[in-house]
């Protein structure tokens, strides 16, 4: 797994595999916004990101691919770090860091999401405010470019904790969230992984044998929502 940590006191990098977990650490002195969100009032904070717990065999991690992962993790880390550095809220930092990973085809989230056994991409995301214990989440959405932002809106703009499927996407339309066609989430890597899983009859959650697949992807569903 890939874990990165950045702090104003010192910088430390721990390499372990590319979930979408972002933790932030704040020093003793923090302020609050009128809405109750925690804001950093002095430069004594750190941010840790976790890129996931994938099952890519080490022999498949070429130097070039590892460099791509490191660069993407740095971008995610810096997106959240810069918000905290400017005194922004922890929730804003978490959302920004995760959006970077959702926009990357490298991570099993957003653009790089794994396919279901039916050959679709169904996305989940959640966020929680550790101070107020408010939370929001979405599940099985198929057209949301950045599910973390919709989860944040569920927490901030609705009385609910979790919205799923069509109901979540209807709420997204009401809130002006960006929707995309289903083929936006397609990546060769995840499609070939699905084909190999079907070929090996591997249970979902099980580890694939390390083999290559030259199968051509089936035509993707290009349904759009407006």
Beta strand 11-15 pairing with 123-128: unpaired
Q: Report the pLDDT value the prediction gives residue 207, as an integer from 0 to 100.
A: 56
Q: What is the pTM of this model?
A: 0.73
Residues 157 and 104 in one domain: no
Residues of the chain under the 50 pLDDT cut: 1, 7-34, 40, 211-226
The residue out of 80, 112, 144 marking a domain boundary is 112
The residue out of 97, 112, 127 marking a domain boundary is 112
Residues 32 and 138 in one domain: no
Q: Report the pLDDT value the prediction gives residue 29, as an integer from 0 to 100.
A: 32
Distance between CA atoms of 102 and 113, rounded to whole angstroms?
8
Q: Report the pLDDT value the prediction gives residue 209, as an integer from 0 to 100.
A: 57
How confident is the model over 106-153, as pLDDT tens digits?
999 999 999 999 999 999 999 999 999 999 999 999 999 999 999 999
| Domain span including residue 201 | 114-226
Q: Report the pLDDT value the prediction gives residue 135, as an integer from 0 to 100.
A: 98
Residues 85 and 124 in one domain: no
Residues 27 and 81 in one domain: yes
Residues 22 and 55 in one domain: yes
Residues 132 and 88 in one domain: no
Q: Report the pLDDT value the prediction gives residue 201, as an integer from 0 to 100.
A: 82
Residues 133 and 82 in one domain: no
Residues 206 and 144 in one domain: yes
Residues 145 and 204 in one domain: yes
Residues 84 and 10 in one domain: yes
Residues 86 and 29 in one domain: yes
Residues 128 and 219 in one domain: yes
Q: For the chain, how many structural domains are there in total?
A: 2
Q: Report the pLDDT value the prediction gives residue 205, as an integer from 0 to 100.
A: 54
């Amino acid at each position: 797994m890939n874990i990165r940590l950045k702090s104003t006191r010192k910088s430390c990098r721990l390499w372990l595999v590319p979930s979408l977990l972002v933790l932030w650490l704040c020093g003793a002195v923090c302020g609050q916004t009128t809405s109750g969100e925690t804001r950093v009032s002095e430069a004594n904070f750190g941010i840790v990101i976790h890129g996931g717990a994938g099952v890519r065999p080490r022999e498949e991690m070429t130097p070039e691919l590892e460099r791509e992962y490191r660069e993407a993790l740095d971008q995610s880390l810096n997106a959240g770090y810069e918000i905290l550095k400017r005194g922004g809220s922890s929730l804003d930092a978490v959302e920004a860091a995760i959006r970077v990973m959702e926009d990357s085809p490298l991570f099993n989230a957003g653009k790089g999401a794994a396919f279901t056994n039916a050959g679709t991409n169904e996305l989940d995301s959640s966020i929680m405010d550790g101070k107020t214990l408010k939370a929001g989440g979405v599940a099985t959405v198929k057209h949301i470019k950045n599910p973390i932002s919709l989860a944040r809106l569920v927490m901030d703009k609705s009385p609910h904790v979790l919205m799923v499927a069509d109901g979540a996407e209807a709420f997204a339309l009401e809130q002006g969230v960006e929707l995309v066609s289903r083929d936006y989430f397609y990546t060769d890597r995840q499609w070939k992984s699905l084909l190999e899983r079907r070929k090996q009859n591997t249970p979902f959650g099980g580890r694939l044998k390390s083999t290559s697949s030259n199968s051509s992807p089936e035509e993707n569903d290009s349904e759009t929502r407006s």
